[in-house]
Each structure stands twice: as structure tokens, then as C-alpha cells.
Structure 1
Amino acid sequence: MSKKSTIQVEKVNAHIVNWLKTYAENAKVNGFVVGISGGVDSAVTSTLCAQTGLPTLCVEMPIHQAPSQVNRGREHIEQLMTRFSNVTTIEADLTAVFENFKSIVPTVPDLDKVNLSLANTRARLRMTTLYYFAGIHGLLVAGTGNKVEDFGVGFYTKYGDGGVDLSPIADLMKSDVYALGEYLQIPASILQASPTDGLFGDDRTDEDQLGASYDELEWAMLEEEQGKSADDFAGREKIVFEIYKKLNASNQHKMREIPVCFVSNDIK
């Protein structure tokens, strides 16, 4: 189930950069703000934004972050600022804010629910921070989600990293993002690192949480688009397909529009 990207990286890069620049100009904003995590998605997104020539603010938002993630993020930002004069950076350490939040909300005996809620809280604090910087500088918040995360398994926080103004790489599979990252000369430390959302304060990877690799999930997403079902597979393929279908179904609330209760005029 290994997935090799076949995108034409040079053309895809030019297309996205042009799309970003056109959107920003039409929206009459100054540029972009991107949260930098030390992962490939945010590295590629920020590099795409930088290529527009518009102001691009890279924001570090550590919350008890692993040093390896912080170091990768800073390596990328330093490289990006060397390559593009329109790139600036700022750090907003949210650890104290997060700890204060924890101290004023009630807890419950179910620690799994508490830990998941706190993980999502981290993402939502970061979203709030990005919109603060966007507001004071006249910028758009650029999302970093890819296709398999955003529309396949819904592996993001609703109103957290899912709360953005535009999504430049959301039509690219994870393998495509890696291919684009190599073309854009993203630091090797990022390209070689195991993907992680870094929301739990430990070393768990995305694959640990999802139960399958991105290559496997991409395969399942493409097979499902071809009308396949779990009955068409056996062994590991069947397991992966079932994981994909379960995650896709349970996270539909993230992928669909918010339900609105419409009231007919005759009872208003």
C-alpha cells in the first residue's frame, strides 16, 4: 500500500502560489499568517505563502512542546527567512495560558475524555492566537491540512487547526505534500520525521493515533472512491479499509456544513 506521488510539483507549486496571491489581493488583505509546528504540512504551506511575495508571518505557539518539534520548526523558519525577505516570525508561548485554563475548568474521572478535550483545547488556543495576529496585521490564516486529513479521516480539531481562512494544500494527499516539500527544499529533519500533531505532550505519532499510516489511508480513500467495500479485501488491507471507513463516518460532522434548523415563514 505504498503511495508514490505523481503530481507535477513545479506546476502544482506555481498554481497554488498564484491562487494564494490572487485570493489575498481580491480579499484586500496584506498577506498570510501560518502556525509552524515542525511538521511537513506547515512547512510546505508557509513556503507556498512566502513565494507570493506578500508578508508571511510564521508563528510558533509551543505548549509543553517536545524540543525536537520546536527545533524542526525553528530550523524551517530560519531557512525560510534566509530565502524570503517577506517572511517574519514571532513566538507566542501558550504554556501558561493552557495551564491557567486547566486550573479553572472542572475535571472528570474519565481521564481519556479529559486528555482528548485538553488536546483539542491546545489546537483551539493556537487558532485564537493566529486570528489575533491576523487581525492586528491584516492577514489571512492559512490552513495546513491535507486532503486525507481534512476530507478522508477528519484528523484535525474542529475550530482548532480546522479554523482557517483558506486551505492551500487541502486538495493534496500527504504523499503529494512530501513530494512538494522535497521540491521546495524543506529541511530534511522535517521530511524524515514521523508525522505527529503534538497535542498530547508525548511522543505519540499520527499513525499511533489513527491505527494506520498515511500511505495506507490514502490507499483506502482512493479505493473507497472507486466504490470498493471492506468485503473486497482481506488481511491488512481489510483492516486498514475498515479503519478508514470508521474514521470517515465518525468525523463527518467536521467535513459537512453546520446543521441549521430552518424555520418556515408560516410559523415565524
Structure 2
Amino acid sequence: MDYARVEARIHDFLRDRLDAAGADGYVLGVSGGLDSALGARVAADAVGPENALGLILPGAPSSTANMRDARDLCDFLGIPYEEDDIRPAVASIRDGLSGDFDETTVGNVRARVRMTYCYEAANARNYLVLGADNKSEYELGYFTKYGDGAVDLAPFGDLYKTDLYEFAEYLGLPETFIEKQPTAELWEGQTDEDELGASYEVIDAVLRRYLDRDLTVAEIVADTGIDRDLVERFVSRHESTEHKRRRPPTPGL
């Protein structure tokens, strides 16, 4: 991929969208992971670090190392940042609702609380909320509906996760972010690849062939040698999460 062209297109996209909205800058959550580090970098380069705000929003089980890396990244890029502990807000929601909360439900609450913080900060400054989800996550529905999926624009929505590793190398992001195990830290010990059941290299190999080349399951298996059950799992996950990628249905009146 021509990453110089990718970088230029993303910069133009961010500037054009800001102008079209009459907004003054971008807010983004900075988690200490690769995707948000890339988001912070392209925002700073496109519109200037002074027109971006990083939100660092720890809440159990956020690791102290990731929060430190998030702060260091903002300092490195010259982006102002604010830090708020989301645990009281999450606890308030849990205490106010009846029923049992399993780890997935609590993880979704954390994602939606972070979304609320991002939009509150954006509204206060006339900013837009910048998302960091990539195409792999988007096409698998691997995001929280109305949580991290609720953003004003998604500069990496056309790039698979494996593309982002290469893009980060091209941009010269610190290796700390490139080498990290991907995780949303929505619950203790959670990692993307453990939860999804395969590495992003395998996932992207399936998605590229299914979405971009329109291959069947059998053709993907023959082309890659990936286990058929895995291929079927990711194809099925893509199809079953279609509702997360579309506006709510209406009766068509």
C-alpha cells in the first residue's frame, strides 16, 4: 500500500470534515494502544496539535502502563490532554440498574461512558469526536454499539488492522505501540485475539478475500489453508453484526 498517499488522503479528509462542520478541532480517547496513537498522530499532523484534545479515561481494569503510554504519547505529539477516572460513572450506572452484570455487559457500559465523556468534551469546545476503529473491527462488529462505535468520523475505517501496523511503521510511531497486544481493556485479561479466536493476520486474510475479492468460504480455505471452522466463524460474525453498521431500521412509510 502507498502509505504516503494514505497519509495525505487522511489529512485532507480530517481538514475537509472539520471545515464542513464549522468545528474547531478533534477530541479522541487515547488508550495507550496502537489505533488511538495513530488517531492522535494524524489529527495532530492534519490540523495541528493545538486543535486536538486527548482524553485519557482509565477505569478498572486499565493498566497503569497503558495510561502512562497514553500520557507520554500526548506529550510527544504536543497534544493537550485531560484525564478522568470513569469508575464512579460506571459504578453509578451499575448501582442504578437491576439485574446481574456479566463482564461483557460491564465492558459495554465502560465503552458507552467513555463515549459520553468524549461528546461532552467535544460539545464544550465545538470539536468533533474522532474514532480509531479499523476495518477489521468494523466488519466483524467488534465494537460496542453506541460506545466506541459512536463517533463523528473514522479515518481508519478503510484500513484493516494489519494495515495499521504498517502505517504506524511508516509514520515512525514508537515501537511501544506497534508491539503491544491489542486490547480494549474492557475486562481483566481481555485481548482482542483471545476473544476473537485468531490473530489479526488470520482474520484479515479471511476478510480481504471475503469482502474485497468476493470469495466463498471454500475458496478462502483453498487459497489460504486456514481452518474452515475459523473462516466460517468470521464470515458468520460479519453477517450477523450487520445491524451494528447500519442506521436503525424504519418501517418505510
Provide the TM-score with structure 2 as the length reference: 0.92
Identify the residue that residue 107 of structure 2 maps to in structure 1: 119
What letter corresponds to residue 143 of structure 1 in structure 2? G
Is the 8 Å Cα contact of residues 33 and 139 (structure 1) preserved in structure 2? yes
Please say which structure displays the higher CA radius of gyration.
1
Runs of 4+ in 1 over 2 A off after TM superposition: 225-237
Q: Deviations over 1:145-193 (max 9, x none)?
A: 111111x211100000000001111011112111111222222111100
> Quick check: 1:31–1:139 contact (8 Å CA) kept in 2?
yes
Amino acid aligned to 2:59: I
- Preserved CA contact (<8 Å) 1:76 1:186: no
Q: SS of the residue aligned with 1:52?
A: helix
Structure 1 residue runs without a partner (length 5+):
1-6, 82-86, 264-268
User: Which residue number in structure 2 is paired with residue 12 of structure 1?
Assistant: 6
- TM-score between the two structures when normalised by the length of structure 1: 0.87
Identity %: 31
How many angstroms apart in 2 are the aligned matches of 1:185 and 1:227? 34
Higher relative contact order (CA 8 A, sep 6+): 1
Contact 1:130/1:141 (CA < 8 Å) preserved in 2? yes
Measure the CA separation in 2 of the matches of 1:219 and 1:24.
34
**Alignment-mate amino acid for residue 246 of structure 2:** R
Alignment match, 1:4? none
| Aligned-CA RMSD value | 1.5
Is 1:137 aligned with 2:125? Answer: yes
Structure 2: which 5+ residue stretches go unaligned? none
Q: Determine the C-alpha separation between the residues in 2 that align with 1:260 and 1:73.
A: 41
- Cα shift at 1:260: 0.8
- 1:223 equivalenced with 2:209 (yes/no): yes
How many Å apart are 1:27 and its aligned residue?
Answer: 1.2
1:29-40 to structure 2, matched below 5 A, reads: 29-40=23-34
5 Å-filtered alignment, 1:66-215, equals: 66-81=63-78, 87-108=79-100, 114-150=102-138, 152-200=139-187, 202-215=188-201
Q: What SS class does the counterpart of residue 77 from structure 1 fall into?
A: helix
CA contact (8 A) 2:202 2:226 kept: no
Could you tell which deviates more after superposition, 221-230 or 252-261?
A: 221-230
Q: CA deviation at 1:106?
A: 1.4
